[in-house]
Chains A and B, each alone.
Chain A
């Protein structure tokens, strides 16, 4: 599936292949991915399906094995210069909040990326203050990282990634290590960014995070096996089982009802949809 022909994709990848040194099989094989401006695309798949590899390559952090076309925000990921440029335009947030913070206090960490780009001190100060306000970190400005909660650390990391003005954001299972409160903080921040028009690639194993996406891509052993709406993915129960994905709670209950002949026509993904079906058929 491709995006509408009038929209130039921000991330335009075709035939992508990647193999880890010494590995017996490709991590990514003949993968196509197009992300349009402002799109929120979720990426799912079992462990080892290539999700994280894709995230890194899209951010220009690794050299692709081969590709027919590999453009991120117009930069050619097959060239060194292109990858370096892609790192500027495409932000990447990783799973482990602890292992992304380098500085000894929050504001210094948020400034790190801008320091790397050689911004002048007053500009850095202005942008850091903006990010701290945006991600509700002002009171934590001078706090040391090991005194932050998981959610606070991940927000700090996100602020640091976005301090550099970005055109696209890739998140690799950003809430996996967080408690529900921290998870919500990150989800809200991402939803806001999406509302502001940032293109988002969201790798996740949490099925309720998939529901919020415009489109979901499912990977299996390095190739795409599904690209479409979240409801379409969950409706394909055989695929969901094969990929060892879960279902949102509403979907699971609907499946159980289906086994008793009381299932809905369309698979509900949220409680509201489920209630609509239950009350409708009551």
Chain B
């Protein structure tokens, strides 16, 4: 069972080779301004930039669809909510449902904005390996160390957690099967019954995880890990001229979107 949570698509495009810190800053800046600007034309600018970035990444379109599909319901819900409850002179009414042109416009805008947001965000996650992303975030969060937040240790924890997610999913499936072989039933009954049925799965999973944490800590110490000591990297973060270009281009897109 293969489960990729962070949806990384390996490649060597221009976008893959950019520094994760620059990508993260660019994506955050674009996302913030996306919500500041309230016009279709501005949205078009962002959409164009997102599509261009996506094209440059050379990631197949179906991967974007895979990242987007879980959020389809959110987009649909937003669309319907705006359609039904937005202010404006209705041209068509049934009961409490009032459809107005203004409402349709708003619905379209808000849903499209969500799509563009996912597009921009997924360019980041599809072209950046999770470990690079956490490293980048740890670096960006470095000032927090002054407030005694252990950013590097947190970044390592996140990396390790991500590494074990597929393993845990397989283990959970195996435990469920073992209990099913003893007659457990996870499908029938109401919410309470089903929650109770999960106890024979969750308890072993917890125990497994605690034991794993112990073993892992020991193995890490055996390889000279010490929290608080600065670690080097096999793949150090190295910003270059391409990242400067990205930031300048991002600034350009933002200015353009705000002006049009």
Interface residues of A (CB under 8 A from B): 56, 59, 61, 84, 87-88, 91-92, 94, 96, 98-104, 107-108, 111-121, 124-125, 128, 142, 144-147, 157, 160-161, 164
- B121 contacts A by Cβ under 8 Å: no
Taking A92-B219, A98-B167, A112-B223 as known contacts, 15 extra A-B pairs with beta carbons closer than 8 A to each other, sorted by chain A number, are A102-B159, A104-B131, A104-B162, A107-B234, A112-B220, A113-B225, A114-B232, A115-B231, A115-B232, A116-B231, A118-B232, A121-B232, A121-B233, A144-B163, A164-B223
Contacts known (A98-B167, A119-B232); A61 close to B220, Cβ less than 8 A: no
- The verdict on A115 contacting B233 (CB below 8 Å), with A88-B224, A99-B212, A102-B216 known, is yes
Which of A107, A116, A145, A147 touches B224 (beta carbons < 8 Å)? A116
A102 and B220 in contact, given A108-B131, A121-B235, A144-B166 (Cβ under 8 angstroms): yes
Contact present for B219 and A115 (CB under 8 Å): no
Asked if B103 is at the interface (CB within 8 A of a chain A CB), the reply is no
- Contact between B216 and A100, CB atoms less than 8 A apart: yes
Contact A56 B218 (CB under 8 A): yes
A125 CA to B233 CA in the complex, in Å?
10
In the bound complex, do residue A104 and residue B216 qualify as a contact, i.e. CB atoms below 8 Å apart?
A: no
CB distance from B227 to the nearest CB of A (A): 10
Contacting A94 at CB < 8 Å: which of B131, B160, B170, B215?
Answer: B215
**Neighbouring B residues of A161 by C-beta, 8 Å:** 222-223
Q: With the chains together, A61 CA to B223 CA distance in Å?
A: 10
Q: Find the A residue at minimum CB distance from B4.
A: A144
The 8 Å CB contact of A103, one of B159, B230, B232, is B159
B: residues with CB less than 8 A from A are 2, 10, 129-131, 156, 159-160, 162-163, 166-167, 170, 211-212, 215-216, 218-226, 229-236
Given A61-B222, A102-B216: A120 and B232 interface contact (C-beta under 8 Å): yes
Min C-beta distance of A202 to chain B, whole Å: 16
Which of B215, B221, B230 is A87 in contact with, Cβ under 8 Å? B221
Partner of B163, one of A61, A94, A104, A164: A104
CB of B11, distance to nearest CB on chain A (Å) = 12
Task: Provide 28 A-B residue pairs closer than 8 Å at the C-beta atoms, listed in order of the A residue.
Answer: A59-B222, A84-B224, A87-B224, A98-B167, A99-B211, A101-B163, A102-B156, A102-B159, A102-B163, A104-B162, A104-B163, A108-B235, A112-B220, A113-B224, A116-B223, A116-B225, A116-B226, A116-B229, A119-B232, A120-B232, A125-B234, A128-B234, A145-B163, A146-B167, A157-B219, A160-B223, A161-B222, A164-B223
Nearest Cβ in chain B — how far from A173, in angstroms? 13
Q: In the bound complex, do residue B130 and residue A104 qualify as a contact, i.e. CB atoms below 8 Å apart?
A: yes
Tally of contacts, chain A with chain B, CB under 8 A: 101
Assess the A111–B234 pair: CB atoms within 8 A.
Answer: yes
CA distance A94 to B219 in the complex (A): 7
Q: Which residue of B lies closest to A62 (CB)?
A: B218
Q: Which B residues touch A104, using CB under 8 A?
A: 129-131, 159, 162-163
Residues in chain B near residue A96, CB distance under 8 A: 215
| A residues less than 8 Å from B232 (CB atoms) | 114-115, 118-121, 124
- Give the residues in chain B near A87, CB-CB below 8 Å: 221-222, 224
Collect the chain B residues with CB atoms within 8 Å of residue A92's CB. Answer: 219, 222
- Please report the C-alpha to C-alpha distance between residue A145 and residue B162 in the assembled complex, in whole angstroms: 11
Contacts of B212 in A (CB 8 A): 98-99
Residues of chain A lying within 8 A (CB to CB) of residue B225 = 112-113, 116
CA distance A140 to B130 in the complex (A): 19
Nearest first, the 6 A-B pairs at minimum CB distance are: A113-B223, A99-B215, A111-B234, A100-B219, A92-B222, A146-B166
| B242 CB to nearest chain A CB (Å) | 19
Nearest A-chain residue to B230, judged by Cβ: A118
The listed residue (A111, A124, A145, A160) touching B167 by CB distance below 8 A is A145
A124 with B234: CB separation less than 8 A: yes
How far apart are B160's CB and chain A's nearest CB, in angstroms? 5
Give the residues in chain B near A94, CB-CB below 8 Å: 215, 218-219, 222
For B129, the chain A residues whose CB sits under 8 A away are 104
Instruction: Output the residue of A98, A107, A157 with the most chain B CB within 10 A.
Output: A98
A59 partner residues in chain B, CB cutoff 8 A: 222
Q: How far is the CA of A92 from the CA of B223 in the complex (A)?
A: 8
- Complex: A54 Cα to B223 Cα, angstroms: 18
Write out the residue numbers on chain A whose beta carbons fall within 8 Å of the beta carbon of B226. 84, 116
Least CB separation from B166: chain A residue = A146
Q: In whole angstroms, what is the CA distance A91 to B218 when docked?
A: 12
Q: How far is the CA of A8 from the CA of B237 in the complex (A)?
A: 45
A17 smallest CB distance to B (angstroms): 21
